[in-house]
Amino acid sequence: MTDNGKQMTTLIRSQHQRTTSPAQDKTDEIRGYYKQGLQQIRGTRNMHPDARRIEIARLYATTQAALKKVQQEQIKADQETFAQLERQLWGYDDVRANAYTSAEKAAVDSTVRDAQDRAAKLKKPDEAARALTSAEQGGDKVLARAIAKRAHDMNWDHVLQGYLDTRPTEAERYQQAGDIYARQHTTAGALTHGFLGALPAPDELRGVSSKDIEAMADPGDTGPTAA
């Protein structure tokens, strides 16, 4: 199992996953406008069939481009958000923010390294659970976080859950990261994400290639006409 696989298997396996993305509502809205526009064009009387096909091609091409844009924006947003969430969950920016002098910063960095080294030496989940309990009782938040990260990487379910149970903010962040991971790494998530940019061609354009649809929608792109 890859490191990425270890990171989110607990959440994917044991909790409900929202594999839909925030972009889903936006694409649903775009498809709604597309459907209305299609009905309007089809219902326009006295329009020549060729003109109707051109109008439908324009509507289809514009809608598909909008859906693709939303899909790409979601990919970028997921990547950026996931990286931010991981830093918030497992980084120590909040701890370092309280260090002002060079000596204080050096002390914090030493404490973090020591905690990470101690956590890395944990080989069994029960051993990690005891170490987490001891860190929690001693108020050692740095060590507790390092142990939770170790549990996260090693897929030690009950240890990680014990850490998150007393930290609602971190639990919410972990859930959000799990949602993103599910969209990126599960079959259901991939299908849902792929659907964001999908738009079946209407009957009027069935059998017409994408290139020809683009040419119909924007004939100016087909090149100069002969004199």
CB 62 within 8 A of CB 55: no
Residue 17, pLDDT > 70, answer: no
Among 162-171, 201-210, 214-223, whose mean pLDDT is lowest?
214-223
Residue 21, pLDDT > 80, answer: no
- Torsion region of 74: left, alpha or beta (phi above 0 gives left; psi -120 to 50 gives alpha): alpha
Residue 225, pLDDT > 70, answer: no
Cα separation, 185 vs 197, whole angstroms: 18
User: For residue 123, what is the DSSP state?
Assistant: -
Residue 20 pLDDT grade (very low, low, confident, very high; cuts 50, 70, 90):
low
Among 39-48, 62-71, 122-131, 210-219, whose mean pLDDT is lowest?
210-219
Q: pTM for the whole thing?
A: 0.72
| pLDDT, position 14 | 45
Give percent of the chain above pLDDT 70.
Answer: 87
| pLDDT, position 129 | 97
Q: Give 149-198 pLDDT, tens digit per residue.
A: 999 999 999 999 999 999 999 999 999 999 888 888 877 777 777 778 88
Beta-strand (E) ranges in the chain? none
CB 60 within 8 A of CB 199: yes
Q: Give 51-74 pLDDT, tens digit per residue.
A: 999 999 999 999 999 999 998 998
Residue 141, pLDDT > 80, answer: yes
| pLDDT, position 223 | 46
Average pLDDT, the chain: 86
| pLDDT, position 98 | 87
Mean pLDDT, rounded, for 19-43: 87
Q: Give 97-111 pLDDT, tens digit per residue.
A: 988 999 999 999 999
Give percent of the chain above pLDDT 90.
Answer: 65
Give the relative orientation of helices 141-154 and 157-165 as an angle to the nearest 10 degrees.
140
